[in-house]
Amino acid sequence: MTTTAAAAGTWQLGDLTVNRLGYGAMRLTGNGMMGNSDGAPIDRDFAVRLLHTAFEQGVNHVDTASFYFSPRRSANELINRALDSWRGHDVVVATKVGPGRTPSGEWRTMARPDELRGQVEENLRQLGRDHLDVVNLRRNGPDCDSVAEHFGALADLREAGLIRHLGLSNVRPEHIREAREIAPVVCVQNSFGLDWRRAEETGVLGLCAELGIAFVPFFAISGLRREAAPAADRDHRITTVATELDATPAQVRLAWTLHRGPHVLAIPGTTNPAHLTENLTAATLRLTPAHLALLDAPTA
C-alpha cells in the first residue's frame, strides 16, 4: 500500500523523524470521551486494524493521552495493542500531561508539579513502554499561568530517562520562551484551523517557525468543535477549491493547514476507515497561490 502520509514531507521531533500527517487518537475512545456514555464502544479488533491501516499508509506519529478514555475504552490501551502486533516502521507516540480525569471520568484541575510523575507513569503503563517518545505539558487556563515549575518537573523526568522529548500544549509565546530556558521544546500543540487562527494572531505559529519547533494543531478540520463559527462565504470558497481539486472540504482544510509552513504537522482523527484514507490523501493535495489567496481572503 502506498505510504500516502509521506507525501506531506517530514519534520524532526528532536532526533525522531515523523511524516507531517499523523493521527489523533481521541476518537478511538468512542462516544464517552467528552462525558457522553451513550453509544456502543469501539470494537478493539476493529480499532487495531484501523491503526494498522494508518501505519501502512505512512502514519508514524500518533497523538494520545491517558485521559483519552470512555467508560469501556482507553486510547492508550488500543494503541498499545496495535503497536504490539505491528511489525512495520517505528511509530512515534506523543502524549500529554497536566489536566487529568478521575477513574469515573470527571475532569480534574491542573495537576501539581509533583503529580506529573504519576501521570507520566500512567502513560507508560497503559502504552506498555519503558519511556515516552514525546510528552506535551498541556497548560490548563489560569491554573497554569507560568509553566516553569511544571515544565521543570518534566525536564527532571527527561533527565531520568522516562521521557525522550518535551513539548507544550495550549500555550502563548511567553510560555514557549519560558520553557526553553529549562529544556528543549520539540513541538507545540494549539487549536488552529481555517476558522480559528489564534495561533497566528498571538505569534505562536511564527515563533515556532523561527525556533524550528513543530507546530501541531488540533481540530484542524474543525469538525469536532468549532471555537469560532465559520463564515458562510468561507465554506463556499472551501467547496470551490475542493471541486477544482476533486477533493473534499475536509481534505482542503488539512491541505491548507499543512501549507502554513514546513514545520506544521496535522493529527486528524477518525474511526471510519474511509475517512482515514481521505484524511491521509490530503497529504497529496497541492494548493496553488490562487487557492491559498481565496481561502485566506477576509470573510464578508
Determine contact, residues 116/157, Cβ cutoff 8 Å: yes
Which stretches of 33-114 are assigned E, i.e. beta strand? 61-63, 92-97, 100-101, 107-108
Please tell me which residue in 23, 67, 68, 218 is annotated as part of the active site: 68
Q: How many CB atoms are located within 10 Å of the residue 175 CB?
A: 23
43 contact partners, CB below 8 Å, separation of at least 6: none
Q: How far apart are CA 141 and CA 21, in angstroms?
A: 28
Q: How far apart are CA 176 and CA 209, in angstroms?
A: 12
Determine contact, residues 62/91, Cβ cutoff 8 Å: yes
Q: How far apart are CA 295 and CA 245, in angstroms?
A: 14
In the residue annotation, 68 being an active-site residue is answered as yes
Write the DSSP symbol of residue 220.
S
70 contact partners, CB below 8 Å, separation of at least 6: 29, 30, 31, 32, 33, 37, 41, 105
- Positions marked catalytic: 68
